[in-house]
Chains A and B, each alone.
Chain A
Amino acid sequence: EAGVAQSPRYKIIEKRQSVAFWCNPISGHATLYWYQQILGQGPKLLIQFQNNGVVDDSQLPKDRFSAERLKGVDSTLKIQPAKLEDSAVYLCASSLAGGPADTQYFGPGTRLTVL
């Protein structure tokens, strides 16, 4: 079974530029999550989708971050404009149904450096 795919794996941009990340979850998984992991910290949930609807985006900085999952499958996360503090690993995860006991499967992440 193929895992969660993410691209690109690495991205270096200058502040105020824009960047987009892509995620393809495990086939059949209804729930998709985007996390931000800053060095030395645990992952922090940015947004959770159930199919193509948003379940939780309370921690998404909506003035600069946006995410979509138009067909309920793959998803993109965009940052515009980027700030230095956005330097982090952006992890995408998926789970079968989004229930509280579901296992989350993570992709390899995109390591973003903002200069």
Chain B
Amino acid sequence: RKEVEQDPGPFNVPEGATVAFNCTYSNSASQSFFWYRQDCRKEPKLLMSVYSSGNEDGRFTAQLNRASQYISLLIRDSKLSDSATYLCVVNSPSGTYKYIFGTGTRLKVLA
């Protein structure tokens, strides 16, 4: 089983739609969780950290479920500019604590 798993997609959604991605992680001792965004042929950039209580940043909401070992990202009112790959990142004890990236979920927002 992979340490961090994501549905690779692509998720094709119309503008204005709400879309949600999940990411599961295997190590219950994982400490911190993030969503990064990666545009085509660009470097990853932090979208948001994920806190136990859940957190929101504009149209984006992230949640953590430690019991079921998954994190989620909800995007409301999708824009064309949201088209990108969304990488789930978990800081997990694998030897030392390290950042482990999922394969990413591709999102295409269609006009």
Residues on A close to B: CB < 8 A? 33, 35, 40-45, 48, 55-56, 58, 91, 100-101, 103-109
Contact = CB atoms under 8 A, between A and B. Distances in A.
Interface of B: 4, 8, 31-32, 42-46, 49, 87, 91, 94-104
Chain B, interface SS category? strand
Contacts of B97: 100
A48 B42 contact: no
A56 B101 contact: no
Contacts of A106: 43-45
Contacts of A56: 95-96, 98
A45 B32 contact: no
B32 A109 contact: no
Chain A, interface SS category? loop
14 contacts: A35-B101, A40-B8, A41-B103, A42-B104, A45-B100, A56-B95, A56-B98, A91-B44, A100-B97, A101-B32, A105-B46, A106-B43, A106-B44, A106-B45
Contacts of A42: 4, 87, 101-104
A101 B49 contact: yes
A55 B103 contact: no
